[in-house]
Structure formats: C-alpha cells, structure tokens
Amino acid sequence: MIDVRLLATALEDDACLSYVASEADGGTVLFKGTIRNRTAGKPVLRLTFEAYDAMAVREMESIAAEGLEKWRCHRVAIHHRTGTLLPGDTAVLIAVAAPHRQAAFDCCQFCIDTLKLRVPIWKKEVFADGEVWVAAHP
Amino acid sequence: MLNIQLLAFGIARDIIGSRTASLELPDDASLQDLRILLLERFPAFAQLRSLAFAVNTDYQTDEYLIRDGDEVVLIPPVSGG
C-alpha cells in the first residue's frame, strides 16, 4: 500500500508513521529531510520548492511501488513539500514498514535516493545576496 | 508544421522567461531537434548539468517524435528531497 502526497502545508511525522503501522511488521524506518541553515558556509534564509505536480506524484508512486516489490515491504508513505520553507522545516518524509528491519532500511534508502534522481521537484536556495537553483549547474 | 506547448520549471522557466510557451516545429521533428532549437535560442541551456524532456508526464528520450498538440515539459536537473 502506498500513500504519496505533495503538500503545501507542514508535513506531519505521525501521518506517515500511522499510515504504515501494521501488526504484521516488526520494523519501521522514517527518513526525514529537513532544511539546513547553511550551504557551503553561507547562511540560507529560505528555500522554495517547485514541482510539476502531476508527474511528481506519478514518479513518487512508481518509486514507492518499485521499492515495495523489490524489498517485499508492505507499506510506504512519501510526503513532499512545495512552497517556501525555512531552516529546520521538513521537506520530505518517507516511512517504510516491513516484517524485518533490513528491508525497511534498504527500501527507505532506495526511495529517497531515487526520488532525488528523478522526481520533477526543484528547490531554490535564497541567501542574503541572491538565489540559486540547487544542482542546476555542474 | 507541428504546434506544441512548452512547460518549463525551475531554472528552465527563468531561462525562457515564462512558465509556458507555444512553438512551431517541422512535421518530423524529434526532441533532439527541439533541443537544438532551444540551445540556439537560449544559449544558457548549454550551461546546465542536464536538460530532460517529458511529454504528458512521462520522461522521453531525444529520439521521441513530437506529435501535434504535445505538451513538452522542460526538466532541468531535479533537486527534490
């Protein structure tokens, strides 16, 4: 079972954890990606996330389905933010539950690594002296 | 001629100066041809780490033959998470 959401409001750990909770599973992993207050030593004021919504949701669903199948996990929740975030805010949550912990760790790592490679979401870092689209240039 | 809509995100939107744009291409145009045309009109695309295309929410390779009415999405390097 898969719960994918692209949200403009604050992400809730409990929403992901309660979605994946099941008596059939002995291990739950929650990955939480938060906004750092510095990039290469420069203070970050805020970040803006932009998404191609329809495709971002489809790609996250397909990644979650791939992870579930490959590691035989039961449930995955992926929640990702859009809009403006401040240091400390949560940008992404990925919760995975499986009968045993190794599958949950591996599936969760696959989901976040693959999300960063192919889900059409972009972040712009805003500094005191300008803005940068992250990873746009070599 | 093919009439297509471009949809641009992230730095690609900054480069073309708007979220959407209309474009005419020759009948047998592929995404490779679109890439060449974009690089001619907007040299800043050459500075990016990558530029991928999607058509109707699916990634497509440069060999994809564009169809009249396609919405082609410009996908600069993604940075979610």
Map chain A to HEC letters.
CEEEEEECCCCCHHHHHHHHCCCCCCEEEEEEEECCCEECCEECCEEEEEECHHHHHHHHHHHHHHHHHHHCCCEEEEEEECEEECCCCEEEEEEEEECCHHHHHHHHHHHHHHHHHHCCEEEEEEECCEEEECCCCC
Residue of B nearest to A131 (CA): B11
Look at A137 and B54 and tell me if their CB atoms are within 8 Å. no
- The pTM for the full model equals 0.95
Tens digit of each residue's pLDDT, chain A (138 residues): 999 999 999 999 999 999 999 999 999 999 999 999 999 999 999 999 999 999 999 999 999 999 999 999 999 999 999 999 999 999 999 999 999 999 999 999 999 999 999 999 999 999 999 999 999 999
pLDDT digits (tens, 9 = 90+) for B16-61: 999 999 999 999 999 999 999 999 999 999 999 999 999 989 999 9
Q: Would you call B79 an interface residue with chain A, using a CB distance cutoff of 8 Å?
A: yes
Look at A133 and B59 and tell me if their CB atoms are within 8 Å. no
- The minimum CA-CA distance between B76 and chain A, rounded to whole Å, is 7
> How much of chain A, in percent, has pLDDT values that exceed 70?
100
Decide if the complex's ipTM is over 0.90.
Answer: yes
Bridge-based pairing state of the strands A38-39 and A121-127: unpaired
Look at A52 and B54 and tell me if their CB atoms are within 8 Å. yes
Q: pLDDT value at position A138?
A: 94
Residue of A nearest to B73 (CA): A52
pLDDT digits (tens, 9 = 90+) for A30-50: 999 999 999 999 999 999 999
CA–CA gap between residue B11 and residue B44 (Å, rounded): 10
